[in-house]
Amino acid sequence: MSPRRIKTLTWFSALLVGGTLVWTVIVFLRRRGDLERPVSQQELERVVKGVEEPEPPKDDRVQVKALNRVFHSMNWTGKEDPKPVGPGPDEGKVVQALVSMASLLHVLVLQIDTTDPKAGIAYVSYTPESKLQKPDADPEERLLRIGERLGPPHQYALVDGISVDGVRFVFDDPVREPETVHPAKPPEDRVTIVVVDQAILPGTSERLIVANPNPKTYLPKNTEAIGRNEYQLGTETLKEVDRDYSRILAQDVSYKPARDPKTGQVKGLLITRVAPNSIVSQHGVTEGEIVKSINGHPVTSVAEAVSYVKQEADSTNTWVVEFEKQGRTFSRTYKSPPKE
């Protein structure tokens, strides 16, 4: 390129830059009034709100525990070293041997009140192996009542029921089955039956079953649990069920057919919802249970179950309902008041 052409381009560029500068000054002078005008608070807020916040800077810090795990807990292959095999969490602990309740105590007296199943009392004597009481202990300390626990070291045993069959115990361990300690078998000439409120504590050689010779049926107004999975139906509860069973089935409980996964046939009614404090909940029924049968009669629909109960109501006062939940089958017993 010749020097003359270079000079021409230089002058042209200078004129272009100068013209641009002059135009910028002119535009500034024209808008000077607008630029000097104070900005309103609304405009400032609009601008501020329109600005997007930048993402927070990434934290490149590494925890020391992670470094220790990489450099100390792993070898060069990148895999964790096998942990040494040692005693488990339960090893080394002293496991208490399972002791039968019959080896801990002897039932001497059973006081049964047929008007209130929960008021039963048992008078017992403890064996030396039990380490519960001394032979000369106060007789009051040798009385067992429903809902009480044995003393240490057998406080895991709870008195669940007292009947003519003996004292029934349940345990904190859900795997252990309930146990019943039957009354010590007495000589035939020592068997005595007396009225409940006339019962006396026996001597060391006596064995009594105290019962009421004129029993009265326990008739609560509202349904009550009288034992594990055993209920006495209340007189007022039955009247309410007979009067409003349609409403109860519609509002207090939800259900649907439960089918056998292998055959596809209906095997019962699955309870999908139970309203809190409802009549259904008072009878021990909970969500997720399957009602399978009533007194051995299969339950495939609500209408069929209601029809069966009405048909058998005049001749039956004990209803054994079979349930299933999470693969486990169990039953509840409901006792009706006697017919007037």
What CATH number does the domain containing 318 carry? 2.30.42.10
pLDDT at 84: 58
User: What pLDDT is stored for residue 21 in this prediction?
Assistant: 86
Residue 139 covered by a domain: yes
Domain co-membership, 203 together with 231: no
Cα 237 to Cα 232: distance, rounded to the nearest angstrom: 10
* More reliable by pLDDT, 61 or 94: 61
Domains contained in the chain, number: 2
Asked, for residue 73, whether it belongs to a domain, the answer is: no
235 shares its domain with 324: yes
Task: Tell me what the mean pLDDT of segment 295-316 comes to.
Answer: 90
Q: How confident is the model at residue 76 (pLDDT cuts 50, 70, 90)?
A: low
**Bridge partner list, 232:** 224, 335
Cβ-contact 188, 255 below 8 angstroms: no
What integer pLDDT is reported at residue 19 of this predicted model? 83
Q: How confident is the model at residue 93 (pLDDT cuts 50, 70, 90)?
A: very low
- 131-137: long-range contacts at Cβ-Cβ below 8 A with a sequence spacing of 24 or more? 132/104, 132/105
Quick one: which of 298, 294, 302, 279 has its CA closest to 332? 294
Q: Which residues, other chains included, contact 164 with Cβ-Cβ below 8 Å and sequence gap of 6+?
A: 110, 112, 209, 211
| Tokens (6 digits) for 211 | 């019962």
What average pLDDT does the segment 267-278 reach?
Answer: 93
Q: Check whether residue 229 and residue 323 sit in a common domain.
A: yes
Which residue range forms the structural domain that includes residue 146? 101-210
Question: What's the whole-number mean pLDDT along residues 300-314?
Answer: 89
Q: What is the mean predicted confidence (pLDDT) over 58-65? A: 66
Q: Assess whether 203 and 229 both reside in one domain.
A: no
CB 155 within 8 A of CB 149: yes
Share of the chain above pLDDT 70, in %: 73
Q: How confident is the model at residue 226 (pLDDT cuts 50, 70, 90)?
A: confident
Contacts 24+ apart (CB under 8 A), 172-179: 176/98, 178/228, 179/100, 179/101, 179/102
Phi-psi sector, 166: left (phi>0), alpha (psi -120 to 50), beta:
left
pLDDT of residue 89: 53
User: Are 229 and 206 found together in one domain?
Assistant: no
User: Which residues are CB-contacts of 212 (< 8 A; sequence separation ≥ 6)?
Assistant: 112, 113, 114, 115, 195, 196
Pairwise CA distance, residues 83 & 282, whole Å: 52
Confidence band, pLDDT 50/70/90 cuts, at residue 204: very low
Do 154 and 107 share a domain, yes or no?
yes
Task: Give the lowest-confidence range in 44-48, 133-137, 223-227.
Answer: 133-137
- Indicate the average pLDDT of the chain: 78
Helices (H), 63-152: 64-72
274-284 pLDDT, tens digit each? 999 899 999 99
Q: Which of 307, 294, 295, 301 is nearest to 266 (CA)?
A: 301
**Confidence band (pLDDT; 50, 70, 90) for 205?**
very low
Report phi then psi at 195, rounded to 5.
-70, 150
